[in-house]
C-alpha cells in the first residue's frame, strides 16, 4: 500500500516576504511586540514559517551534544514558530512555549560555544530572540497576559499574526498594547509581481503562459483578475485549471479554461 502525503509547493521569495523578514528582524533586534495582520490566504503563515526555520526539537534535550545536522538548523533558526490552539489557555501556552524557549536557548548557546559544557540555564532562557505566534486571533485575554509575562521574563521579541482587526482588538488591553512596537500589514501580491512569478515559476504552478500567444496572455490576465494576488486562491484556481485541462486533454491554456476553473471555486469576500 502506498500512502500519499500532501506536498507543499516550493517557497517563492516574494517582495511581501522580504517586507515581513524586515519587520520580524526589527521585532527580534529590539525585542518588541509586533503585530502582523493580513487577509486569509495571502501567505502570512508560510512566510513566517520560512523566516523562523524553527527546527524540530522534540528529540533534543537541553545539555545534549548537538550533531552537525541539528547544529546547522539551530544556526539558521531565527524564531520559535507557535500556532495558538483553538481552545488556548495560559497553561497550554506556557506548556507549548517554555520548553522550546529553554531548548532553543540551550541549543543556540551550545552551537555558539561548540559544546554544552558550562551553558547556564539563566543565560539559555534569555537566548531565544523571537517567538512568532500564528492564529493570534484565537488568543483569550488571559493567554495574551501569559504571553506578555513570558516575553517580559525571557525577554524575547514577540510577533502576533492574525487577521485584519487583530491590532484593533489588542488596543483594548492597555498593558499589552503599550508594548507593541510595530504593526505590519501583510499584503497580497501586486499585479506586476504576479506576472513575474507566473513567468519565472511556471513549473511550480504546473501551467505556463506563453507570452507570444494571445490566448495565454488573456488567460494570465484572467488569473490575475480572479485571484487578486491571493496565494491560496492561486493554488486552488491552478489545481482546477490543471484538472480541466487534463480531463479535456488540452495543452494550451485559455481564458475560457480559467473561467471554467473559477466557476468550480467558492470565492468568499474575505479572499
Instruction: State in angstroms the smallest separation of the CB of 166 from ligand ATP.
Output: 11
12 binds ligand ATP (CB under 6 A): yes
Of the ranges 81-89, 111-119, 210-218, 228-236, which one interacts with ligand ATP (CB under 6 A)? 228-236
Figure out which of the listed residues 6, 7, 8, 58 binds ligand ATP, where binding follows CB under 6 A.
8
| Backbone torsions φ then ψ of 253, nearest 5 degrees | -85, 145
Sheet holding 80-83, edge to edge: 80-83, 130-134, 157-162, 33-37, 180-185
What is the residue whose three cell numbers read 532562557?
125
Q: Which is nearer to Mg ion, 135 or 146 (CB)?
A: 135
Closest CA to 47 of 6, 83, 18: 18
With both helix axes pointing from N to C terminus, report the angle between 15-30 and 44-52 in degrees, rounded to the nearest 10. 50
Instruction: State in angstroms the smallest separation of the CB of 229 from ligand ATP.
Output: 11
By CB under 6 A, the residues from 21 to 60 that bind ligand ATP are: 38, 40-46
Instruction: State in angstroms the smallest separation of the CB of 53 from ligand ATP.
Output: 14
Instruction: State in angstroms the smallest separation of the CB of 137 from ligand ATP.
Output: 9
By CB under 5 A, the residues from 162 to 181 that bind Mg ion are: none
Instruction: State in angstroms the smallest separation of the CB of 16 from ligand ATP.
Output: 8
Helix spans in 137-230 (H): 141-154, 166-170, 174-177, 191-200, 202-205, 214-227
| Backbone torsions φ then ψ of 37, nearest 5 degrees | -125, 150
Per-residue contact track with Mg ion, 45 to 64, x per CB under 5 A? x-------------------
From CA 166, how far away is CA 113, in angstroms rounded?
40
Q: Which does 231 bind (CB under 5 to 8 A by kind): Mg ion, ligand ATP, none?
A: ligand ATP
103 binds ligand ATP (CB under 6 A): no
Chain centre to alpha carbon of residue 248: 36
Closest CA to 73 of 96, 51, 56: 56
232 binds ligand ATP (CB under 6 A): yes
Cβ count near 4 (within 10 Å):
5
From CA 119, how far away is CA 134, in angstroms rounded?
30
Per-residue contact track with ligand ATP, 180 to 219, x per CB under 6 A? ----------------------------------------
| Contact residues: Mg ion, CB under 5 A | 45
| Contact residues: ligand ATP, CB under 6 A | 8-9, 11-12, 14, 17, 38, 40-46, 231-232, 235
Amino acid at each position: 500500500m502506498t500512502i500519499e502525503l500532501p506536498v507543499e509547493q516550493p517557497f517563492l521569495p516574494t517582495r511581501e516576504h522580504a517586507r515581513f523578514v524586515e519587520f520580524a528582524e526589527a521585532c527580534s533586534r529590539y525585542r518588541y511586540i509586533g503585530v502582523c495582520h493580513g487577509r486569509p490566504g495571502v501567505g502570512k503563515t508560510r512566510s513566517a514559517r520560512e523566516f523562523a526555520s524553527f527546527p524540530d526539537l522534540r528529540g533534543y534535550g537541553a545539555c545534549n551534544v548537538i550533531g552537525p545536522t541539528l547544529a546547522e538548523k539551530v544556526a539558521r533558526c531565527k524564531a520559535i514558530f507557535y500556532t495558538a490552539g483553538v481552545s488556548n489557555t495560559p497553561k497550554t501556552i506556557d506548556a507549548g512555549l517554555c520548553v522550546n524557549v529553554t531548548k532553543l536557548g540551550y541549543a543556540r548557546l551550545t552551537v555558539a560555544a561548540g559544546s554544552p559544557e558550562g551553558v547556564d540555564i539563566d543565560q539559555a532562557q534569555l537566548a531565544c530572540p523571537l517567538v512568532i505566534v500564528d492564529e493570534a486571533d484565537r488568543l483569550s485575554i488571559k493567554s495574551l497576559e501569559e504571553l506578555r509575562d513570558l516575553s517580559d521574563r525571557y525577554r524575547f521579541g514577540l510577533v502576533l499574526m492574525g487577521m485584519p482587526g487583530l491590532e484593533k482588538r489588542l488596543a483594548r488591553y492597555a498593558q499589552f498594547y503599550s508594548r507593541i512596537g510595530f504593526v505590519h500589514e501583510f499584503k497580497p501580491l501586486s499585479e506586476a509581481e504576479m506576472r513575474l512569478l507566473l513567468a519565472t515559476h511556471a513549473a511550480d504552478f504546473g501551467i505556463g503562459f506563453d507570452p507570444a500567444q494571445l490566448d495565454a496572455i488573456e488567460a494570465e490576465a484572467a488569473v490575475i483578475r480572479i485571484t487578486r494576488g491571493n496565494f491560496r486562491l492561486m493554488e486552488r484556481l491552478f489545481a482546477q485549471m490543471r484538472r480541466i485541462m487534463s480531463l479535456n486533454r488540452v495543452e494550451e491554456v485559455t481564458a475560457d479554461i480559467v473561467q471554467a476553473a473559477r466557476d468550480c471555486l467558492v470565492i468568499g469576500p474575505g479572499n
